[in-house]
Amino acid sequence: MKVLAIDDQKLVLIPLENRLKELGYEVLTETNATKGIESYESFKPDLVIVDINMPLVSGMEVVKHIRKTKNSSTPIMVLSGNTDDNMITEGFDLGINDYMKKPLSLVEVCARVKRLIGAPVIANNVITNNGVIIQQRCVGVVIPCYNEEERLLSNEFTDFIVKNSGYHLCFVNDGSKDNTLEVLNNLRKGREDFITVYDCEKNGGKAEAVRQGMLFMAKKEDLDYIGFLDADLSTDLTDFDDLVSTIENSNYKIVSGSRISRMGANITKESARKIISLTINFIIRKILKMDFKDTQCGAKIFHKDVIEISFADKFVTQWIFDVEIFRRITLHFGLKKAKEILCEQPLKRWIHADGSKLSMKDSVKIVGQLGQIAWFYRGNKKNVKKESYSSNEATSFSLNKLKKA
C-alpha cells in the first residue's frame, strides 16, 4: 500500500515516513505541493496526506487537483495547524476523508491511516519510539559548547528529538580543548536530519558562538522559530518547549526564560551568586528601562524576523550579550513596541550546574561591561550598526571561519 505525504517542513515528514514504513507501507514524501501533484500522477498512491498551509501552492490546491481535475476518489487526509472552521468546511466539501489538527500523536495518525486504507498484508508489528508528537511548527535550537565532554547530556538531547518532531539542534563547538567535538559528531551519527555540528577552530566566546549559530539556522527555510540553550541543560528541553508554545500562540517576537524563585518551581542558585545577580539585574533594568527580572537566563526563543536585528553584528561584550540583544530590539522598534514584543516567562526548573565557566570574579567584571553597553548603545538606532562593526573589528574575538563538521 502506497502513501504520499506532502508537507513543506521536512522535520515533520521524517518521523511520519519512518513510522509508516515500520508499519509496512510504501511511502513517498514531498516538501513542495507542485512536486506533490506531479508525484501523485507517477506514484499512484492509495492515500494522500497533505498539509494545508504551504508556500506558493497550498494543500487545498492538491485536494482540488485530485478531486476535480483528476476526478479521483483516492483517500485524502489533511494534517494541519490551520484551525479555521471555514477552511475545514471547504476541505470536507471538496471531499477530504479526514482532517487532523497539529500538534497530534503519531500513533493516532497511523491508526487513522489504517482505518482509511487498511493495514499492509505484510505488516511489521515491532514499533519503536511510541509517544512521538507531530508539531505544527519547526524549531531550531543553538547550543554553544566549550569543553563540555564531561557535562554533555547526550541521551537527554537524543530522547527529546525522538519524541518531539520539528526540532533541529545545532551544536556549536567553540574551539574546545577536550574531546567535545568527537562527542558531538558521535551524537550526530544517524541523526543528520535533526542535528548539525559546527566547529570553531578557535575559542571565540559564548556570545560569538551563539551569534554564528543563530545566523546559520536562520537560513533554514523550514524553521519557524530559533532559540538558544545552554549545553548543561540547567534549563531542560521540556521547559524550553514551553517557551516555544508561548511564542507560537502569541504576538511576541522573543520569549526569554526567567529563573524566578516561586512556589511550584525548582530553582536553585548559589547564595553568593544570587546576591550579585540581584545587583547586576538592578543595573540592567536601568539600562534597558524595562522591568526585566532575569535577562541572563540561557534559554531564549526568537521569531525568525528578528534574528537579523538581534544577531547581525558582533557583540561588544562576552558574557552579557543578552542585554545587548534587548538593547538592539529597543533601538530598532522603540521602547513602547519593544515592551510589546518581548516576553519574560518563569521557568518550572533551573538547576545551577557544577563546572560553570563564569567565576565569581567574572561576575564582578560584568558591572564594568554593563557600563560599556550603556556607552556603546547610547546613540540613535541609525548609528548602531555602523558603530558596532568598527568597534568589534577592533576587539575581534578571533573566531575562525565556522565550518560544518
Residue carrying C-alpha cell 486504507: 117
Euclidean distance between CA atoms 151 and 130, whole angstroms: 28
**Across residues 367-382, what is the average pLDDT?**
72
Q: For residue 361, what is its C-alpha cell?
A: 570574579
Instruction: pLDDT band for 206, please (50, 70, 90 cuts).
Output: very high
Q: Which CATH superfamily is domain 2-117 in?
A: Response regulator (3.40.50.2300)
Are 59 and 53 in contact by the 8 Å Cβ rule? The answer is: yes
pTM of the model: 0.77
**pLDDT at residue 403 in the model:** 39
Kindly list the distances between the CA atom of residue 168 and the CA atoms of 28, 137, 161, 196, 217, in Å, as whole numbers in the listed order: 22, 11, 8, 8, 9
Euclidean distance between CA atoms 145 and 313, whole angstroms: 21
Kindly list the distances between the CA atom of residue 225 and the CA atoms of 218, 220, 370, in Å, as whole numbers in the listed order: 9, 10, 28
3-class secondary-structure state, position 136: coil
Instruction: Report the DSSP pairing between strands 139-145 and 167-174.
Output: parallel
**pLDDT at residue 253 in the model:** 96
DSSP state of 297: -
What are the phi and psi torsion angles at 12 (to 5°)? Answer: -80, -35
| Rounded (5°) CA angle 193-195-200 | 130
Output Rg (C-alpha) for the chain, integer angstroms.
24
Q: Which of 135-144, 150-159, 171-180 has the lowest mean pLDDT?
A: 150-159
**pLDDT at residue 368 in the model:** 75
Q: For residue 187, what is its C-alpha cell?
A: 551524537
227-265 pLDDT, tens digit each: 999 988 888 888 899 999 999 989 999 999 887 754 444
CATH number of the structural domain 137-404: 3.90.550.10
Instruction: pLDDT band for 354, please (50, 70, 90 cuts).
Output: low
Euclidean distance between CA atoms 299 and 201, whole angstroms: 25
**Across residues 182-194, what is the average pLDDT?**
92
Where in the chain is CATH 3.40.50.2300?
A: 2-117
Q: Which of 182-186, 229-233, 372-376 has the lowest mean pLDDT?
A: 372-376
**Residues forming beta bridges with residue 302, ordered by sequence position:** 226, 254
Kindly list the distances between the CA atom of residue 240 and the CA atoms of 62, 74, 293, 304, in Å, as whole numbers in the listed order: 35, 40, 18, 17
Does 136 have pLDDT greater than 80? no
Q: For residue 37, what is its C-alpha cell?
A: 501533484
Euclidean distance between CA atoms 155 and 285, whole angstroms: 38
Are 36 and 11 in contact by the 8 Å Cβ rule? The answer is: no
Question: What is the chain's mean pLDDT, rounded?
Answer: 83
Residue among 102, 116, 101, 80 nearest 3 (CA): 116
Instruction: Report the DSSP pairing between strands 195-200 and 403-404.
Output: antiparallel
Are 168 and 139 in contact by the 8 Å Cβ rule? The answer is: yes
**Across residues 357-378, what is the average pLDDT?**
72
Are 104 and 77 in contact by the 8 Å Cβ rule? The answer is: no
Residue carrying C-alpha cell 497530534: 104
Instruction: pLDDT band for 359, please (50, 70, 90 cuts).
Output: low
What are the phi and psi torsion angles at 159 (to 5°)? Answer: -60, -35
Residue carrying C-alpha cell 483517500: 75
How many of the other CB atoms lie within 10 Å of CB of 120?
A: 14
Euclidean distance between CA atoms 128 and 401, whole angstroms: 40
Euclidean distance between CA atoms 240 and 254, whole angstroms: 13
3-class secondary-structure state, position 303: strand
Euclidean distance between CA atoms 391 and 388, whole angstroms: 5
64-88 pLDDT, tens digit each: 999 999 999 999 999 988 888 898 9
